[in-house]
Amino acid sequence: MTDIQDLTKLEAEFMTAIADAVEEASLEAVRVAALGKKGRVSEMMKSLGGMSADERQTAGPALNSLKNRLTEALAARKAVLAETALEVRLATEKVDVTLPVRESATEAGRIHPLSQVLDEIIAIFADMGFAYEQGPDIESDHYNFTALNFPESHPAREMHDTFYFEPKADGSRLLLRTHTSPVQVRTMEKGKPPFRFICPGRTYRSDSDQTHTPQFHQIEGLVIDETTHMGHLKWVLEEFLAAFFEVEGVELRMRPSFFPFTEPSMEVDVRCARLGNEIRIGEGDDWLEILGCGMVHPNVLKAVGLDPEIYQGFAFGIGLDRIAMLKYGIPDLRAFFESDLRWLRHYGFSALDVPTLAGGLSS
């Protein structure tokens, strides 16, 4: 028969043991002795079955409330011990923060070359006062083509070039953006000039082959205000390419070209030396096509409500995968998307290797 005195005595015994526990292990031993499967209180609760109804009437609630009080006291003591243990560690442990981080301890993965290059480029343009805009991968015909002065019949609108979704009820078709230019249109629509930003991102074209993948990455840039001219474009491109390829300076050759969204339009080559399959940017007597650019077409400005008599500016577009391959000597584009850990370990970057202009982009 379990009488209240026993329970009070038992409670006092366990509360003393809990208060006297000086580390978590001995506290756990008290918990097991009291509330464990074979604990004293648990055994008593099992004996409830063998009691008479009115005995159970008193013993049941008494045991339950004892169990709750012990559980609370155990939890409170556990928190105190944990707190004390931490203080002791903080007081005793000395962490030499100047020590290099143990490689294996932190480095689960590697930063993909595309992510590293993207961070490098964002750092370079941020240093030139460029903001960073993003937009949806799934676009409308308007933002991907019409607003960028693509005539209805432009071949780029064809299936062989663009991934279209099934037509909607109203016959319009959504698509996977073929360039990040729609982001510039959206950003200009929702903002006020002057504009100066870059917009990197995934782009899609259904013309994949040995050197083209259906999904790839672009980075485009735009400057719109009342005074910016082509001289500024050339300077920005020279500054960007020299910083990106980490050379003193670069020499550019700008060849006339055509894009519906720029007038005049240019393809830009950078002077380089080809040594076997290595390419050295900024030296040599060879040229490498590196990007496209131009002065923003007046129709594109009008499409976002800007008066081309007042506003002007330039835009450029660069294949991100391609310049990553160029800078880090990566031979094959498709490997970018195969998530082969051996490839990532070889071409990837340490997570701690965050590119900054001050600290050197690829230290």
Q: How far is the CB of 183 from ligand 2U9 (least distance, A)?
A: 8
Give whichever of 14 and 259 is closer to ligand 2U9, judged by the CB atom: 259
Give whichever of 2 and 184 is closer to ligand 2U9, judged by the CB atom: 184
Q: How far is the CB of 78 from ligand 2U9 (least distance, A)?
A: 59
Q: Which stretch binds ligand 2U9 (CB under 6 A): 4-12, 230-238, 244-252, 310-318?
A: 310-318
**Which member of 261, 311, 347, 349 binds ligand 2U9 (CB under 6 A)?**
261
d(CA 228, CA 223): 7
Residues in 290-309 at the binding interface with ligand 2U9, rule: CB under 6 A: 291-294, 296, 300
Binding of residue 219 to ligand 2U9 (CB under 6 A): no
Q: Which stretch binds ligand 2U9 (CB under 6 A): 127-135, 189-197, 313-321, 352-360?
A: 313-321
Residues in 89-108 at the binding interface with ligand 2U9, rule: CB under 6 A: none
Binding of residue 218 to ligand 2U9 (CB under 6 A): yes
| Residue 95 CB coordination number (10 Å) | 7
The burial class, CB within 10 Å (0-12 / 13-18 / 19+), for 213 is: middle
Binding of residue 150 to ligand 2U9 (CB under 6 A): no
Rounded to 5°, the CA angle 201-202-204 comes to 140
Binding site for ligand 2U9 (CB under 6 A): 179, 181, 184-185, 218, 220, 222, 259, 261-262, 291-294, 296, 300, 315-319
